[in-house]
A and B are shown apart, each in its own frame.
Chain A
């Protein structure tokens, strides 16, 4: 099928996955409201939400065979969007699978939990799809509002409410930056359509208004992807949020923000590379170094993983700043690896934590390798992958990012990334050491992990190992997804990098 936006009806087809998901979510609201079962609607709505995600994935797959006319439609139909959509949907499905146990245990087994999750996914799918600043803002708010509520979902837990409020306040603050930046860009270019802007805005003469717009957009996005120093909300929000949703925040929400970040900066503003490269260079450096240092002194594993996820945003920023096709491909590859290993790690953490999330300190993991070999082995695998050791997807992903950054002429970033990784070994391995080389202080109570959670962990582990052992095929898919998106231009060198040979 061919999409031509001169026919308004075609927007429906172009947004089919989003439409499917949003209709399903609304239907689920109805189901939730009229549920008469004995055990409450939570479990049923959760299972049905998996079906909704599968339907959306099918629609997304259908989009693969669809072509669009021109590159200025407000909704992009390209493999980049489809690839990232699959990541969002997969992350959401894994999150649902690991949520069942948790919500039941913590007494928040409500249908809204899953419905909000679906709305959140719709928001991030819009982010990946839109080629229009307004639509991107819409996507952000849709995603964020659901996220604020879900962060505060444990209403009886003051920590959770506090986290939600902080997230909301600072999120609103950053949205102001974002929308102001969009306004300035609209002022400079006369349109909010990125496809058009890409053609008008070329390097050379840049108006102060455009420069200001880019700065404000950078700040807004830096907040959304929790780059240092806009990350301060992250540890609190991640710690307070229900653990499965923390995993979702750390992976899918970050991925959604990154998807739009790349759509604007790399694809649309690729020619303006020299104007945004410096500020993002600094953000990337800070984001790689600071959280890795802070994570060294964390005793709470959820906070540790929160800082770890901030550091990974730094690695993804390196892929973004490379702004070439191999950078984009490595970004997509790393996103997949990062998503599965992070969700897997959080899944084990929530299992170990037990009722009311009591056991979350690294000390609580002592001797786990001997008392509970399976969860410990899985957690060790995910941590090893997060640390970037072979034979896991984390290693290959980091390797591709390093390669892309060197190709793009940023050997300095590659070196900093390697050193930051080195520091991170300490805190990842600290957990493993605790599990395998310490003796348990007090025996853990019987672990509750249902089949759905085990399935999720197994999927995460399999993908992590698969990406590490046979990376060729996924990398090929990632490369195909970004083919032709980045304009090949002569790069100008500056004090930060060597001239890129293009």
Chain B
């Protein structure tokens, strides 16, 4: 298992070809470089000629198309190579200090290529969509520059061959997220949302860094292949060292992937343009945590305590976020909480050791969640323009509030149909994408005997079906709450926005079929993704097999996988029908006349008061402490006495040196010279 480890020489962009069972990657560096070139070109345009929209429209999505093509080529090559070892391409030595040697190296294996494929595919579609969505924005070139840069960093993250390089991508996507959330930076609310995302992510980054330091301290390397080969021997199973490492890494994942308790930044991140929400805050960046755990599966498998923490955090997040989604009224925030909830599912999966199930859900979720966001983007876009043209309140709050929508299905038919596909996929209805991946996760919980987590998962699945149906109904069905004047101005989305919706809709229909569990009744067994990703998870699975044993194949309440798959689908279907029938009849008050719900619903409407609790428990005491530090310690003590005092003394000394010694007379210089001679003599003599 040493595919290329240690082979690191400077050899230009061709890279060092390492041994790898038949898999010979095709220009892997260019998968990353194309988006970077796009960034450079678009940034140049943004600076020099911001109105060159046509060039931007060509370059921005174009480079992604090229990257996607390369990802597909490499994917096909990898498929042809069978179960090959990971290939490491090293380009140059980045850092070399003592025993630490970090290369700018890419690891090309099943997991990274699959992730690169998902990232480039979704990114490409969303870039195309953005051409329509951002067409009238004055910051068009800047937007595409950021978006290209984001994809560049995201690909660095998934293709990197060592932890520090992952961290480069990790920080880079965080930076782009910050830049894009605050894209319309003149609005203080949006800037604040960007800042919040950045600050909350710092907590996670601290965990990532500590985890990385600990890995180097205990394992002595930071290269993936070396770490995962050495770790099972060097680290005791369940020992303090590996538990600490993985808990720190998980803290990083909690921040980046918006899990309890750090999920508060993601809903606010919806202040960014909607395609950004789709790309960064649903499909790619926020899943980085899941990817990291899957990548470091060997380490996590060695730490059963951490695995439990991951699974429990995931399940709890899935449930809590789903309940919050039930009562949100902002079209994007519902899906934002849904994203948090679905990320919880993924963490539940990887926490149970079902890495493939986690990655499977990551991929299907990327497709249908991107579609949900793009659909809401199309709705917002249409409604905003309509309100604007009708000279009504076209503010963001007004054009994103679902209480101001309803009955839009006749005006936005494409959006309406694709949104239904995505919603059903999310709700886990057979035969759409979410059904297969969610079923795998739930079944993993059941098979590992985690009854509580499994029950939470099933309940959350029902809640999911409920809230997404409510979302559909409030936006598209029932009586339209758009004023008749504005309704006349409603225009369906342009083709450039409609086609991406359809592409993703087809994806949502079909993506689940890449892995069909053999236990499902009436369906052929087709475990392609399992078999494909198997080499990447073999290390982790062998550790689990050695210490945990094989999972049972029966649910805690009896019955096999097939039975429960049918039961959960039926439950979801019942929830969909019930919610649909109840809510279609309900009359909603428009946003400006609405009263906030009370009781349990109010509790959910106010998002479990998490922001308020953080405010009271953390932010306020912190601010009080900060104020104390500022006024007493900093201003009086440090600034007053220490800094200004030192500065005054130093400046006086400087003046002495400058004006007393530096007189300009050669005679006095010779005197100083002789003084120096005495110093040297004194130093030697005494």
Q: Which residues of A contact B (CB under 8 A)?
A: 165-166, 169-170, 173-174, 177, 211, 214-215, 218-219, 222-223, 228-230, 232-233, 235-236, 275, 278-279, 281-283, 286, 290-291, 293-298, 423, 470, 472-473
Contacts and interface: CB of A to CB of B under 8 A. Distances in A.
B92 A470 contact: yes
A281 B664 CA distance: 28
Interface in B85-120: 92-96
A160 to B, nearest CB: 14
Given A215-B684, A290-B657, A297-B654, A229 B662 contact: no
B684 A166 contact: no
The SS class assigned to the B binding surface is: helix
B654 A295 contact: yes
Interface in B641-686: 650-651, 653-655, 657-658, 661-662, 664, 666, 669-670, 672-673, 675-677, 679-681, 683-684
A227 to B, nearest CB: 8
B13 interface: no
A296 B95 CA distance: 35
A228 B676 CA distance: 8
B653 A293 contact: yes
Nearest to A235: B662
B651 A232 contact: no
B234 interface: no
Contact of B673 (A229, A283, A297): A229
B43 to A, nearest CB: 16
B10 A473 contact: yes
B66 to A, nearest CB: 26
Interface in B141-164: none
Given A219-B676, A232-B661, A235-B662, A166 B669 contact: yes
Contacts of B657: 290-291, 293-294
A294 B650 CA distance: 9
12 contacts: A165-B666, A215-B684, A218-B680, A232-B661, A236-B664, A275-B684, A282-B683, A283-B679, A290-B657, A297-B654, A298-B658, A473-B10
A116 to B, nearest CB: 23
Contact of A296 (B651, B664, B666, B676): B651
A290 to B, nearest CB: 6
A177 B10 CA distance: 49
A218 B684 CA distance: 11
Of B92, B94, B679, B681, the most chain A CB neighbours within 10 A belong to B679
Contacts of A278: 683-684
Given A215-B680, A235-B662, A275-B684, A293 B669 contact: no
B650 A296 contact: yes
A140 B387 CA distance: 82
Contacts of B661: 232
Contacts of B679: 229, 279, 282-283, 286
Of B94, B95, B669, the most chain A CB neighbours within 10 A belong to B669
Contacts of B680: 215, 218-219, 222, 279, 282-283
A472 B654 contact: no
A282 B675 CA distance: 13
A276 B461 CA distance: 78
A222 B676 contact: yes
A230 B677 CA distance: 9
A290 B680 CA distance: 16
B684 A279 contact: yes
Given A215-B681, A278-B683, A294-B658, A173 B670 contact: yes
Nearest to B681: A215
Given A235-B662, A236-B664, A472-B93, A293 B673 contact: no
Of B92, B655, B676, the most chain A CB neighbours within 10 A belong to B676
Contacts of A232: 661-662, 669, 672-673
A277 B483 CA distance: 87
The 6 A-B residue pairs with the shortest CB-CB distance in the complex, in nearest-first order: A229-B676, A294-B657, A279-B683, A297-B654, A232-B669, A296-B654
B675 A170 contact: no
A177 B676 CA distance: 12
A170 B683 contact: no
A76 to B, nearest CB: 27
B684 to A, nearest CB: 5
A275 B680 CA distance: 11
A297 B684 contact: no
A150 B87 CA distance: 60
A165 B665 CA distance: 11
B667 to A, nearest CB: 10
Contact of A230 (B93, B651, B655, B673): B673
Contacts of A473: 10
Contacts of A169: 666
Contacts of B673: 170, 173-174, 223, 229-230, 232
A472 B96 contact: yes
A303 B93 CA distance: 40
Contacts of A174: 673
B606 to A, nearest CB: 43
Of A165, A230, A235, the most chain B CB neighbours within 10 A belong to A230
A74 to B, nearest CB: 28
B670 to A, nearest CB: 7
Contacts of A290: 657
Nearest to B96: A472
Contacts of A230: 672-673, 676
Contacts of A297: 651, 654-655, 658
Contacts of A177: 677
Nearest to A223: B673
A279 B10 CA distance: 44
Contact of A281 (B93, B95, B650, B683): B683
Contacts of B658: 294, 297-298
Contacts of A293: 650, 653-654, 657
B668 to A, nearest CB: 8
Given A173-B673, A229-B679, A472-B94, 7 more contacts: A170-B669, A229-B676, A232-B661, A233-B669, A235-B662, A294-B657, A297-B651
B611 to A, nearest CB: 35
Given A215-B681, A215-B684, A229 B650 contact: no
Interface in B222-270: none
A26 to B, nearest CB: 34
Contact of B670 (A165, A170, A228, A283): A170
A166 B93 CA distance: 49
A337 B658 CA distance: 28
Of B657, B669, B675, the most chain A CB neighbours within 10 A belong to B657
A250 B311 CA distance: 62
Nearest to A276: B684
B679 to A, nearest CB: 6
B676 A294 contact: no
Contact of A423 (B650, B670, B676, B683): B650
Contacts of A222: 676, 680
Nearest to A211: B684
Contacts of B664: 236
A218 B680 CA distance: 8
Contacts of B94: 470, 472
Contacts of A228: 676
Contacts of A295: 654
Contacts of B670: 170, 173
Nearest to B662: A235
A229 B669 CA distance: 10
Of B93, B94, B96, B673, the most chain A CB neighbours within 10 A belong to B673
B675 to A, nearest CB: 6
A170 B684 contact: no
A227 B677 CA distance: 12
A309 to B, nearest CB: 15
B666 A170 contact: yes
Nearest to A290: B657
A326 to B, nearest CB: 11
